[in-house]
Structure 1
């Protein structure tokens, strides 16, 4: 549908078998783009047992899938909240591919101690969410946009925010704060980058059926209920509230990312687009 032939995309947080990052990476490869995928080293320990038994190896598996589609790929471990690691990630990408046309800021903090009422929210847990979701988006965007401006020729920056960046949710205060911040950051950077023909937009998914839901359920499950039981209940309850009748899959987000990465979106910037089956209509 979209022609991304000759483009190079950099996607953070892309090592999960069921994750948004992998779905976007594969979709952009299908559209013709070469793809660099990144994740933190600890992501390897978060692989589900059944996925590991099936041979899933995180970033290495994503790279193999992209290459099997006939595209070039590179997998890099990088902590997006560390400026030196971000600089190294961008440098290695440019060393191999010579340019970056598309950036997808998908890396996100792992749900856990932050999913509590504000009166119980520890500073360290709050700071960790902002470190990854806000600081990480800022550092990677700054590094890649600097290259795009210096190179000329425009570019596409896509930030993954959330429906929780448009409305507050109890026990999600740290996460909501970070995703509201991503939307504000997106709008400000879109204003600044427009003169360079660099589009900056955000995608705001609802609940997506990924590994992150496992961690959310584990953090929110009441005493006496397993994370698996709570996950199943949460998915059913959320699906009931979605007008389209289901929660999102990674491919739903990837379709929007492909549009925003393409020339079809050249006159679209500064938007935060809900992809939530109608659960968010703003």
Structure 2
């Protein structure tokens, strides 16, 4: 039997339907998104944006935020999408497992996980206590790990791909003074994201992180803002951390970028930690 030369095989013409079929991964049809830390700030903005994009939404935050969670659910439902609120402490693996289980039971699956929950504690390295370090690392890094892991288990079971996205920060690329635990935790998110992106490639699951710059949320507000700079929200944080006076953004700006990472055409982006920061850091 004659052997065909590899050069005799027909190569699909670039741009043809067969070429598109050749280069694209298996179909990914997004439908349900889970967002942690979604009672306010960037998490809330992401939840509302993904609802506009056509997702049904499961939002999670601490039980102490139940009233705010209920308000976000109502806003999503007014957009014509399904929504549930699941009180969740991301440092407890059992809570994250329950969050995934309830989302699957009530919304039918998990196609997108946004591991957004995070906390900030200011203070110098020498002032940092073991308790502060453990708390920040547990929420910002271990919590992300639990969300990544259990969302992926469900996505692999579904066999329809997915998007896993975590919250890092510009200080996860270039550390800032007075944020030792926070910077360490956000560097950790970048490492987790890269490793998991490599492992999830065979399953058509992309894993990325977003690195916001100075974003106007409750996290950056401080009672001493009025006494620094122009007195606007975040002025104290800018002063104490040495953050340059670059543009500030509303949470919906970050949500718009995250929205793109959730789309089918974003299949070519994985393992990346993308800065959305007004030029605060450049690469």
TM-score, normalised on structure 1? 0.84
Q: Which has the larger radius of gyration?
A: 2
Shift in alpha-carbon separation, 1:6–1:145, aligned structure 2, 3 A = closer
The residue aligned with 1:141 is 148
Instruction: Provide the C-alpha distance between the structure 1 equivalents of 2:83 and 2:243, rounded to a whole number of angstroms.
Output: 35
The residue aligned with 1:127 is 134
Q: CA deviation at 1:240?
A: 6.6
Instruction: Provide the C-alpha distance between the structure 2 equivalents of 1:200 and 1:5, rounded to a whole number of angstroms.
Output: 16
Query: Is 1:108 aligned to 2:90, yes or no?
Result: no
The residue aligned with 1:158 is 165
The residue aligned with 2:47 is 25
- SS of 1:212's equivalent in the other structure is coil
Q: CA deviation at 1:131?
A: 0.6
Give the one of 67, 72, 88 matched to 1:78: 88
Query: Is 1:42 aligned to 2:67, yes or no?
Result: no
Q: CA deviation at 1:132?
A: 0.3
Q: CA deviation at 1:43?
A: 3.1
Instruction: Provide the C-alpha distance between the structure 2 equivalents of 1:133 and 1:232, rounded to a whole number of angstroms.
Output: 21
Query: Is 1:7 aligned to 2:34, yes or no?
Result: no
Shift in alpha-carbon separation, 1:211–1:264, aligned structure 2, 3 A = same
Superposed, which structure 2 residues align to 1:199-214 within 5 Å? Answer: 199-214=206-221
The residue aligned with 1:279 is 280
Instruction: Provide the C-alpha distance between the structure 2 equivalents of 1:88 and 1:6, rounded to a whole number of angstroms.
Output: 21
- Structure 1, residues 131-173: CA drift from partner, whole Å, max 9, x if none? 1011100011111100111211100001110001001111101
Shift in alpha-carbon separation, 1:74–1:192, aligned structure 2, 3 A = same
Moved beyond 2 Å, runs of 4+: 228-241
The residue aligned with 1:255 is 256
Instruction: Provide the C-alpha distance between the structure 1 equivalents of 2:231 and 2:193, rounded to a whole number of angstroms.
Output: 36
Instruction: Provide the C-alpha distance between the structure 1 equivalents of 2:174 and 2:255, rounded to a whole number of angstroms.
Output: 23
| 8 A contact 2:124–2:177 mirrored in 1 | yes
Instruction: Provide the C-alpha distance between the structure 1 equivalents of 2:234 and 2:162, rounded to a whole number of angstroms.
Output: 40
Instruction: Provide the C-alpha distance between the structure 1 equivalents of 2:123 and 2:234, rounded to a whole number of angstroms.
Output: 20
Moved more, 5-14 or 173-182: 5-14
Q: CA deviation at 1:239?
A: 9.2
The residue aligned with 1:95 is 105
Instruction: Provide the C-alpha distance between the structure 1 equivalents of 2:252 and 2:116, rounded to a whole number of angstroms.
Output: 14
Q: CA deviation at 1:6?
A: 5.8
Instruction: Provide the C-alpha distance between the structure 2 equivalents of 1:103 and 1:185, rounded to a whole number of angstroms.
Output: 14
| 8 A contact 1:6–1:34 mirrored in 2 | no
Q: Which runs of 5+ in 1 are unaligned?
A: 45-56
Q: CA deviation at 1:225?
A: 5.3
- SS of 1:95's equivalent in the other structure is helix
Compute the RMSD of aligned alpha carbons.
Answer: 2.4
Instruction: Provide the C-alpha distance between the structure 2 equivalents of 1:203 and 1:179, rounded to a whole number of angstroms.
Output: 10
| 8 A contact 1:5–1:31 mirrored in 2 | no
Instruction: Provide the C-alpha distance between the structure 1 equivalents of 2:270 and 2:30, rounded to a whole number of angstroms.
Output: 22
Q: CA deviation at 1:117?
A: 1.2
- SS of 1:199's equivalent in the other structure is strand
Shift in alpha-carbon separation, 1:276–1:89, aligned structure 2, 3 A = same
- Structure 1, residues 159-211: CA drift from partner, whole Å, max 9, x if none? 11000100111110100000000001000000000110000000000111011
Instruction: Provide the C-alpha distance between the structure 2 equivalents of 1:265 and 1:235, rounded to a whole number of angstroms.
Output: 34
Query: Is 1:241 aligned to 2:245, yes or no?
Result: yes
